[in-house]
A and B are shown apart, each in its own frame.
Chain A
Amino acid sequence: MADPVPIAQVVIHQRSGEGCIQEDRVFCPGWAIDNIDRYVDPTLQHVVLVAASVGLGFAIAFGLALLSHRRRWLVPPLIGFTGALYTIPSLAFFFLLLPITGRGRDTAIIALTAYTLQIIYRNIVAGLANVPGDIKEAGRGMGLTERQLLWRVELPLATPEIVAGLRIATVSTVALATLAVFAGGGGLGSEIIAGSNITFKTGIVIAGSIAILMAFAFDAFLFLAQRVLTPWRRAVQA
């Protein structure tokens, strides 16, 4: 495999500890407390992978959605195209890109970005389509140009659905980014697997738990961001 050498040594080192590690029980709290600092870098790499992929995915999907907003005939082909990108398994995508972009973080980010496009694009299109016609008419009646209508009326009203798409894409990407290790992209996957060796149970549990907590943290952040961005909805609900 690609990064072969140190794994065996690490595993031996890990297992030459107290009894829990030697028996390789499901979870060894002592080891976890002593070694928690080794998860800092993979966690930060993971955050970067997710933030870059979803950020890039949002920028592209947003551009595509604006492009197809007044050209409705573009929507079906764009749904089909992003759907194909969504369907191609990320692991395969990494290695299809390998001859072009090489190993590393950028390759992982490109593949993860491609994965997010479908979810985000669909939700932006649906959000814009669900803006009631009479509200748009009212906006036009007030003398708004089409551009002003889009930015001041349609996009704000579509924000809940756009954020819903971002939340789904972000949570899925946090889980999926564990595979970035296969592309040499680092992240929490590197503490789950090394080469084709599954490392050890406590490591899997810790890295997996961090990934799940990270997904919930991103989700909560986006939920709060939506509440800040759409103050009028709180007024209606109250």
Chain B
Amino acid sequence: MIAPAKPPLALLGQFGDAFDFIFNEQIGRFSGGEPVGGPEQVLDLAATQLELTGLAMALALAVALPIGLWLGHRGKGELLAVAIGNSGRALPELAIIAFMAAAIGVGLLNLTIALAILAVPPILTNTYVAVRQVDRGAVEAAQGMGMSAVGVIGRVELPLAVPTIMSGVRTSTTNVVATATIAPLAGVLTLGDFIINRNVYGDDGVLAGAICVAILALALELLLSVVQHLLTPRGLRAVAAEAA
């Protein structure tokens, strides 16, 4: 440890220094004179973290959503969908990232795949469960009206399943944006760089990184809760509000 334990009164001081790190570029005491911190670097790293999260979520959605919808529609593969969801939670994030980096290689593409692996299980399981929970009467009515399988899935099952699917998407996003914090270990510089490379950014940078990551994750969660509200069919909103 470089910094000794500080008395409680110095607490605000340390957080104050961290905010200073975020808003003003610092002369890097540990980086050999390279300037560190400041809004430009913070936004740059935050953008990379969002990009990585977005790419991984897009890949995970592209894989998990169609499979979950189809399995749910057919009413098959319950064991598979639930087993994937349950064992997915047991995957240790750090081990996945470290293994990807060590065995396959560093870089944006590998990291996107690793994060997508973590994101698939909650989306797949929730999509499956959501479609199974859709009122069979509504599905049969749609079929009676002559809708094709694709029409039933796209215009009846998917809209009615949105709240549960979105709760899976939010779980995945929370997990992915959190795990993207350790992306610098695999060669992609996100806000986690401030946290992990303390020898470059110092204690202020570490704390500043933690603050930025927390704000980013909370903002993303808030954004997705708004998206969920907008995607939920009008008729379901009252029900959803009651359930929440």
Residues of A within 8 A of B (CB): 1-2, 26, 76, 79, 83-84, 86-96, 98-100, 102-103, 168, 171-172, 174-176, 178-179, 181-182, 188-189, 192-193, 196, 198, 200-201, 204-205, 207-208, 211-212, 215-216, 219
Q: Would you call B217 and A175 a contact (CB within 8 A)?
A: no
* Given contact pairs A1-B199, A95-B195, A178 touches B178 in the complex (Cβ within 8 A): no
> For chain B residues 68-94, which have a beta carbon within 8 Å of chain A?
86, 89-94
Q: How far is the CB of A191 from chain B (nearest CB, A)?
A: 10
Residues of A within 8 A of B196 (CB): 1, 182, 196
Question: Which of the residues A2, A175, A200 comes within 8 Å of B93, measured between beta carbons?
Answer: A175
**In the complex the two chains form, is B214's CB within 8 Å of A192's CB?**
no
**Across-interface contacts of B210 in A (CB, < 8 A):** 91-96, 98
Does B20 sit at the interface, judged by CB under 8 A? no
Q: Tell whether B206 is near chain A: CB-to-CB under 8 Å.
A: yes
**How far is A160 from B50 in the complex, measured between Cα atoms in Å?**
38
Check A95 against B89 for contact (C-beta < 8 Å). Answer: no
Q: Are B95 and A93 in contact (CB under 8 A)?
A: no
Q: Let me know if A87 and B174 touch, CB within 8 A.
A: yes
Stretch from B21-29, B37-45, B99-107, B144-152 contacting the other chain: B99-107
Task: Check A174 against B195 for contact (C-beta < 8 Å).
Answer: no
Q: Can you name 17 A-B pairs with beta carbons within 8 Å?
A: A1-B198, A79-B244, A86-B174, A88-B217, A89-B177, A91-B178, A91-B182, A92-B181, A92-B211, A95-B206, A95-B209, A176-B92, A178-B92, A193-B98, A200-B102, A201-B102, A215-B90
Q: Does B143 lie at the interface of the complex (its beta carbon under 8 Å from any beta carbon of A)?
A: no
Known: A92-B178, A201-B102. 7 other contacts (CB 8 A): A91-B213, A171-B86, A178-B94, A181-B94, A182-B195, A193-B94, A193-B98
Interface residues on B, range: 35 or more
Total A-B residue contacts, Cβ distance less than 8 Å: 135
| Closest Cβ–Cβ distance, residue A106 to chain B (whole Å) | 13
Interface residues of B in 189-219 (CB under 8 A from A): 192, 195-199, 206-207, 209-211, 213-214, 217-218
Decide if B120 is an interface residue (CB 8 Å cutoff).
no
Q: Which residues of B contact A198 (CB under 8 A)?
A: 98, 101-102, 185
Q: Closest CB of chain B to A85's CB: distance in Å? A: 10
Whole-angstrom distance between the Cβ of A64 and the nearest chain B Cβ: 17
Chain A residue with minimal CB distance to B170? Answer: A87
| B237 CB to nearest A CB, Å | 16
Which residues from A are CB-within-8-Å of B51? none
CA distance A90 to B211 in the complex (A): 12
Q: Is the CB of B207 within 8 A of A204?
A: no
